[in-house]
A = this chain, B = another copy of it.
Amino acid sequence: MASGHMILSAFFFNPQGDHRLSWRHPCSPRAEIFDLDYYRELARVAENAKLDTIFVADHVAIWDSVKSGVAHYANARLEPLTILSALSAVTQHIGLVATASTSYYEPFNLARLFASLDHLSKGRAAWNVVTSAMDEEALNFGRDGTIEHAHRYERAAEFIDAATALWDSWEDEAILFDKASGRFANPERVHRIDHAGEHFRVRGPLNVPRPPQGHPVIFQAGSSESGRNLVAAHVDVQFAIIRSIEEGLLYRKDMNERLARHGRSPDSLKILPGILPIVAASAAEAAEKQEILESLMLDNLAIDLLSDGTGLDLSAEPPDGLLPELPDERTFNGVRSTLNKVRGLASQHHSIRQIARKLANTGAVPIVAGTPAEIADQLEAWFVSGAADGYNLMFPVLPEDWTNFATQVVPELQRRGLFRTEYEPGTLRERLGLARPANRFAAARDESRAVPEHRY
């Protein structure tokens, strides 16, 4: 770690919190989620705690392949770039991580939005690259179904290449503002990118000068083989799913090897496991909080999710009966890890309802429940072992859990010297200990290599 302390990123997908039905929690917001004041207050709390970033996840569709999803799930949410642009005006230090899809955007438009946000925020913009796996998303963009996995990642790599070239298309010294001579820009420092790939043709240059950070920081969450390779080639911060120190150390080792193949040092990639912190005064209170969360789940939604996950139609089965025979794994066309989890639960003779609720209430990332000191203990252990550079904090219920973490766990981490007590000056990239990327066009000239033809 450049600065010697952990990175803390406050995340949300559902603005009500990261439990699937957190919107039902007595403390979660209702229509406030469509009001800027709600996000303004989250940002104020996060910046007060000196957190590194606010990270807004996203989909470009509502989730309706699961039958009762529209009725029971909080599908409606604001768009991250607009929220974070608004927050750039009322924050000063915190990083602003917006999710955007390489499958359903054009590189010129997205490079421009992020370059612009980076200027407006004085170097605090970050882009969480997603490839949008849902069929529901594909159908909103003229496709009949989602793009095949490997193809999505190829497209993402090409997209990032075009976007970073656009960010480089105006060198840092390109603009002269020389009123007397009338030279606004030095044409030799402004470049067409002439990108012509499998998925995109983009001439450039961008019509925004180079972002303060050179390139906005790039986040990605992929952990498949293609995901890891994309991260090793192009990404600054990885949102990872890690369940133990051992797993984290193995993951780091694997990523370091992949980084090396791209000539990158381990330091150039920050790995942030996702965790779900539940702050409580005692173990009993923590358990009670978890129980309340689990009680939010609805039987019919859970059973529809189980139908979706197993390929069985369970809507007419008695909920307290046993599960019918599960499909053969070898010919199963869905997520096999889900099927196997269900098979394990079914073998214990749980009812359909019990299996469904169990499955629906199991999140992807570890829950870290306890007192502020207990939570800090675990965050410290993973961090000092090298299994994590910091954490992507996914709160079960907003704003409560976000505020509890910021006001109770952060001070504990600060006391232990594990987290900053004041923001360091500079850009987000600098605070994360990431180098400012060299400009590919300037670098080509400096190394006396063939410089792309100057057309201006």
Contact = CB atoms under 8 A, between A and B. Distances in A.
A409 to B, nearest CB: 27
Nearest to A26: B179
B170 A76 contact: yes
Most chain B CB within 10 A, of A79, A175, A208, is at A79
Most buried by B among A83, A182, A187: A182
A120 B73 contact: no
A90 interface: yes
A121 B31 CA distance: 14
Interface stretch (A198-206, A223-231, A239-247): A198-206
Interface in A71-129: 71-79, 81-83, 85-90, 104-106, 108-109, 112-113, 115-117, 119-122
Interface string A30-61: 11001110001000000000000000000111
Interface residues of A, number: 79
Contact of A88 (B72, B86, B104, B122): B86
Given A26-B179, A179-B24, A184-B73, A117 B82 contact: yes
Given A24-B179, A75-B185, A202 B109 contact: no
A385 interface: no
A120 B75 contact: no
Nearest to A24: B179
Interface in A113-156: 113, 115-117, 119-122, 136, 139-142
Contacts of A206: 62
Contact of A89 (B71, B87, B112, B139): B87
Contact of A209 (B34, B60, B61, B70): B34
A60 B112 contact: yes
For this chain, the copies found in one complex come to 2
Contacts of A24: 179, 182
A301 B141 CA distance: 42
B60 A108 contact: yes
Contact of A21 (B60, B139, B170, B182): B182
Nearest to A25: B179
Contact of A456 (B70, B105, B117, B177): B70
A24 B185 CA distance: 12
A349 interface: no
A183 interface: yes
A87 B60 CA distance: 25
Contacts of A175: 31, 76
The 6 A-B residue pairs with the shortest CB-CB distance in the complex, in nearest-first order: A85-B85, A139-B203, A79-B116, A30-B177, A82-B116, A89-B89
11 contacts: A24-B179, A35-B119, A40-B89, A71-B184, A71-B185, A78-B119, A78-B120, A79-B208, A86-B88, A86-B120, A139-B202
